[in-house]
């Protein structure tokens, strides 16, 4: 396993931004006197962090490096700030365009990553779970599988939010992210609208804990997928909105790749 951390210049954000890249590389087992060769180009998972996170947070709180080594896939983790991975046109912070297309172009030019749709996946935790479904559908020509761990599927609720000092409940914050909250429904920020208008829906994996404050939103979305005869896997398991739960089910998603 090889870990690269650095920054790249990107047009969609009009600045430099940090990324972490895990490559399976060739595994040397010194004690067993053997070497495992991982064929190139690598299958690749683009992994999106949650609110308050950065590109290094999975490295600090999960066993993602070990998952990459065991599974022989590359993992690219961008820094999405608190963007929900949507496009903020007025400030030219096009996070959706960045993670849906430009990041793929940048990393494929630098690292030996496959450019095939069937080898390219997107997943995320919490805010990153929303970013994964939003951009996995909007850029469905690029991704064959979407992983949603404790996904923040909150776009139908935030329209009713009022002023609050807590960012998680602040209407001002969500307006700074999504724009006019009354215009989210039936837009490309609405996952259900994207499902309706996506011609090649990637495979979808969902997991959420029974005691997670987002469980009802995840159940609702899964029921919606079933009503549209979309074949998705939903794991409802014991757990809360924690890194322990994320670590367990990011691993389960990676097993499917």
Burial 70-86 (b: 16+ CB within 10 A, else e): ebbbbbbbbbbbebbbb
Residue 56 has pLDDT above 80, yes or no: yes
pTM of the predicted protein model = 0.95
Domain boundaries, the chain: 2-255
Q: CA angle 84-182-228, nearest 5°?
A: 70
Check residue 213 and give its pLDDT: 96
Residue 12 has pLDDT above 60, yes or no: yes
Rounded CA separation 143/130 (Å): 15
pLDDT, tens digit (0-9, with 9 covering 90-100), for 100-156: 999 999 999 999 999 999 999 999 999 999 999 999 999 999 999 999 999 999 999
Check residue 256 and give its pLDDT: 94
How does residue 1 score in pLDDT terms, banded at 50, 70 and 90?
A: confident
pLDDT, tens digit (0-9, with 9 covering 90-100), for 167-213: 888 999 999 999 999 999 999 999 999 999 999 999 999 999 999 99
Check residue 39 and give its pLDDT: 85
Check residue 27 and give its pLDDT: 64
For residues 5 and 56, is the Cβ–Cβ distance under 8 A?
A: yes
Q: CA angle 249-146-116, nearest 5°?
A: 120
At the second CATH level, the architecture of 2-255 is 3-Layer(aba) Sandwich (3.40)
Average pLDDT over all residues of the chain: 94
Residue 32 has pLDDT above 70, yes or no: no
Tokens of residue 7, six digits: 């920054």
From 20-24, 159-163, 234-238, 245-249, the region with the lowest mean pLDDT: 159-163
Percent of the chain predicted with pLDDT > 70: 96
Sheet holding 232-237, edge to edge: 2-10, 15-23, 74-78, 44-48, 120-125, 145-149, 203-209, 232-237
Check residue 79 and give its pLDDT: 98
Give burial (CB, 10 Å; 0-12/13-18/19+) of 200.
exposed
Mean pLDDT, rounded, for 74-91: 95
Mean pLDDT, rounded, for 73-90: 96
């Amino acid at each position: 396993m090889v870990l690269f951390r650095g920054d790249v210049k990107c047009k969609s954000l009009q600045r430099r931004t940090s990324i972490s890249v895990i490559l399976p590389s060739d595994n040397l087992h010194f004690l067993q006197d053997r070497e495992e060769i991982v064929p190139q180009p690598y299958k690749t998972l683009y992994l999106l962090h949650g609110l308050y996170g950065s590109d290094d947070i999975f490295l600090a709180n999960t066993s993602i490096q070990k998952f990459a080594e065991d599974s022989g896939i590359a993992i690219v983790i961008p820094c999405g700030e608190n963007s929900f991975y949507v496009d903020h046109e007025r400030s030219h912070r096009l996070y959706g365009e960045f993670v849906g297309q430009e990041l793929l172009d940048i990393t494929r030019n630098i690292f030996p990553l496959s450019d095939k749709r069937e080898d390219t996946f997107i997943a995320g935790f919490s805010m990153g779970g929303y970013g994964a479904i939003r951009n996995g559908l909007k850029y469905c020509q690029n991704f064959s599988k979407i992983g949603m761990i404790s996904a923040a599927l909150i776009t139908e609720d935030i329209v009713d939010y009022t002023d609050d000092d807590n960012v998680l409940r602040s209407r001002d914050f969500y307006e700074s992210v999504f724009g006019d909250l009354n215009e989210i429904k039936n837009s490309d920020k609405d996952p259900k609208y994207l499902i309706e208008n996506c011609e090649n829906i990637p495979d979808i994996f969902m997991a959420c804990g029974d005691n997670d404050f987002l469980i009802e939103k995840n159940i609702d979305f899964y029921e919606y997928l079933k009503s549209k005869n979309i074949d998705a896997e939903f794991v409802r398991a014991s757990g809360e909105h924690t890194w322990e739960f994320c670590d367990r089910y990011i691993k389960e998603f990676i097993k499917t790749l």
